[in-house]
Amino acid sequence: MMRRIIVAVCVVMLTAGVAFAETVKLPDPDKSGTMPLTEALTLRRTTREFSGEDFSAQELANLLWAAGGVNRPDGRRVHPVAMGLQDTSIYVFKSDGVYRYDAPSNSLELVAEGDHRQETGRQDFVGKAAVNLAYVHDMSLWEYSRAPRDLVAKWGFAHTGAILQDVYLYAAAMGWNCVVRGMFDTDSLARLMKLSPTQSITLIQTVGKRP
């Protein structure tokens, strides 16, 4: 009986077009040195020209680790977060799809198939750069906290600020180009990314190789 129910549920899900999650494991991030931090700080800047070349899996793994990877055995991350709550996720728009970066498992979860990079903004370069990283803040993790909601929303932007500066510095160290962006269509992106009402995009950052 139970087997029949499971089969029936699967058939209904497939008929309704519900896709099963696809997970892509990333290579271990390469944490060997790049350039001195002070040199990267000197080179940190916004640049808007991109070659159109994709990142290799290794390059992407390294970039995402710098953005929001785990850097301690207890699971804490490269960037600081208020009260230790990991309420900010990184979504990756690349040439073959939109993915959510799962830092603890160092993997990408498919959210939408296909190239949606140009949908992350009106500026032409966003469809050409290797990746657009959309930072998503989730209020739901604070449901049982006494922290005031207006403060939590500000903390979400602080988390994004820490991530985006790490990405700017990593891009500078690698000789890549990078720009953070505050102008995008929140509603259509939220639909594409299947965000819940408690999730919102704070900023989007475009990163790619130089022409």
Ligand X SMILES: Cc1cc2nc3c(=O)[nH]c(=O)nc-3n(C[C@H](O)[C@H](O)[C@H](O)COP(=O)(O)O)c2cc1C
Question: Closer CB to ligand X, residue 16 or residue 183?
Answer: 183
Question: Closer CB to ligand X, residue 122 or residue 191?
Answer: 122
Q: Rounded to whole angstroms, what are the CA distances from 110 to 85, 95, 151, 173, 191?
A: 24, 13, 31, 28, 15
To ligand X, the closest distance from the beta carbon of 43 in angstroms equals 10
Give the full edge-to-edge strand order of the sheet including 97-102.
23-25, 107-113, 97-102, 88-94, 131-138, 199-208, 177-181
To ligand X, the closest distance from the beta carbon of 144 in angstroms equals 30
How far is residue 176's CA from residue 108's CA, in Å, rounded to a whole number?
Answer: 22
Q: Nearest 5 degrees, angle CA 52-CA 169-CA 209?
A: 10
To ligand X, the closest distance from the beta carbon of 5 in angstroms equals 49
Q: Could you say whether residue 178 binds ligand X (CB under 6 A)? A: no
Length of the chain: 211
How far is residue 165's CA from residue 28's CA, in Å, rounded to a whole number?
Answer: 22
- The conformation of residue 107, written as its DSSP 8-state character, comes to E
Binding mask 97-126 for ligand X (x = CB under 6 A): --------------------------x---
Structure token digits, residue 85: 């709550």
Of 77, 79, 116, 181, the residue at the interface with ligand X (CB under 6 A) is 181
Segment interacting with ligand X (CB under 6 A) among 86-94, 104-112, 135-143, 173-181: 173-181
Segment interacting with ligand X (CB under 6 A) among 28-36, 43-51, 169-177, 193-201: 43-51
Q: Could you say whether residue 45 binds ligand X (CB under 6 A)? A: yes
Q: Could you say whether residue 179 binds ligand X (CB under 6 A)? A: yes
Kindly identify the residues of this chain, within the stretch 48-87, that bind ligand X according to CB under 6 A: 48
Q: Could you say whether residue 46 binds ligand X (CB under 6 A)? A: yes
Nearest to 90 by CA among 28, 169, 160, 151: 160
Per DSSP, which regions of 18-77 are E strands?
23-25
To ligand X, the closest distance from the beta carbon of 48 in angstroms equals 6
- The conformation of residue 32, written as its DSSP 8-state character, comes to S
Question: Closer CB to ligand X, residue 51 or residue 123?
Answer: 123
Of 4, 5, 183, 197, the residue at the interface with ligand X (CB under 6 A) is 183
Q: Which residues bind to ligand X, rule: CB under 6 A?
A: 45-46, 48, 123, 179-183, 203
